[in-house]
Structure 1
């Protein structure tokens, strides 16, 4: 039996017993987490989601929090007084071991949802994958379009990453910013637009 899960903007084909590195999750070593975004499950029959397989999930045990290989980003602007900038980054990752693949009944498993650590500060980590959706449904989410450079499409991407409030953005660390740059595919925008300072002011009202 295998499944194809989605986390951190990437897809992984997994089987029970597999070990893999995923983008950092808000979980400690030894904790059990559940991936709820399942694109495909194969048991006796192959089930393909549209886009997700209803009721399916993949459960895993967190082994450790690790860092990926260092990536060097070199930028040279020859028309701007030959300015140069070199930045190094090591992506924070979570090492997990797949323990179970559920073809159905995931909603009633009671296992903590696997939530990206860069999406929600530790003090506000959601315990289920439906928390951001619930906030949107009840209207408790902030209007993120008030941030400079954020339109409806970018706001939707932030919601998909679990970001629904100014308080979350105001609490981002440099590592969180790097993670969100990757997820939003707009490298440097968060710093250029000053989202964190804007969010801090908007959170205070």
Structure 2
């Protein structure tokens, strides 16, 4: 019995016991692999695929990863001052020995499929790689909580949550404190809040006096 299989863009007629060189496969020496692209089966009965023979397969043992003969690629350009280039190349190949031809049931054997080393997709590599543990989420820094009995400082003109936080961190938590500020206090907080002159422009002290009353 023989089979015509396809791998690496080429077709090979094989039977059990044959040794052949094919385009490099993603497999190690000693591994058993299975070619699943079978175009035809021959023997007592000939079966032609359309385009592949369903359920058929060819199993083989990987003997070694080798390189082909050195090929010389020579290029000479006319009228380019005798420009020429010589390059050498050795194709990477896999040496395999055919062990068995399966006319059916190849899709249920569980044997590793023969995949070209250059055709392994990034998706397949990612699926084979161990899953990375998700990095633990960083906990948000706790907001500066206003102490019990503190006033809502955001009621002052121009004071938002960020500015209120700075005031609380500076020890100011009530309207009564702001209402009692002296000129020295105003100057000190101008520097701390990096808004020089804003306290007077917005009239925080007057606003604080009114808010403290009621």
Question: Is TM more than 0.5 here?
Answer: yes
Match of 1:57 in 2: 57
C-alpha separation between the residues in 2 aligned to 1:116 and 1:126?
Answer: 17
Match of 1:2 in 2: 2
C-alpha deviation, 1:82, in angstroms: 2.7
C-alpha separation between the residues in 1 aligned to 2:79 and 2:6?
Answer: 41
Taking structure 1 as reference, are residues 100 and 69 closer, same or farther at Cα in structure 2, changes over 3 Å only?
A: same
C-alpha deviation, 1:106, in angstroms: 1.2
Unpaired runs of 5+ residues, structure 1, are: 128-205
Q: Does residue 82 in structure 1 map to residue 82 in structure 2?
A: yes
Match of 2:36 in 1: 36
Instruction: Spell out the pairing of 1:11-26 with structure 2 (5 A cutoff).
Output: 11-26=11-26
Q: Is the 8 A contact 1:22 1:93 kept in 2?
A: yes
> After superposition, what is the alpha-carbon deviation per residue over 1:103-153, rounded to whole angstroms, capped at 9, x for unaligned?
1111111011101112227994599xxxxxxxxxxxxxxxxxxxxxxxxxx
More divergent stretch after superposition (61-70 vs 112-121): 112-121
Taking structure 1 as reference, are residues 123 and 72 closer, same or farther at Cα in structure 2, changes over 3 Å only?
A: farther
C-alpha separation between the residues in 1 aligned to 2:120 and 2:72?
Answer: 26
Query: Which 4+ residue blocks in structure 1 deviate beyond 4 angstroms?
Result: 121-127
RMSD: 2.1
C-alpha separation between the residues in 2 aligned to 1:17 and 1:125?
Answer: 32
C-alpha separation between the residues in 1 aligned to 2:125 and 2:10?
Answer: 21
C-alpha deviation, 1:51, in angstroms: 1.4
C-alpha separation between the residues in 1 aligned to 2:44 and 2:109?
Answer: 22
Match of 1:66 in 2: 66
Q: Does residue 115 in structure 1 map to residue 115 in structure 2?
A: yes
> After superposition, what is the alpha-carbon deviation per residue over 1:44-76, rounded to whole angstroms, capped at 9, x for unaligned?
310011211111110000000011100000001
Q: Is the 8 A contact 1:24 1:117 kept in 2?
A: yes
Three-state SS of the structure 2 residue aligned to 1:118 is helix
Larger Rg: 2
TM-score by length of 2: 0.55
Q: Does residue 99 in structure 1 map to residue 87 in structure 2?
A: no
Instruction: Spell out the pairing of 1:96-175 with structure 2 (5 A cutoff).
Output: 96-120=96-120, 124=124
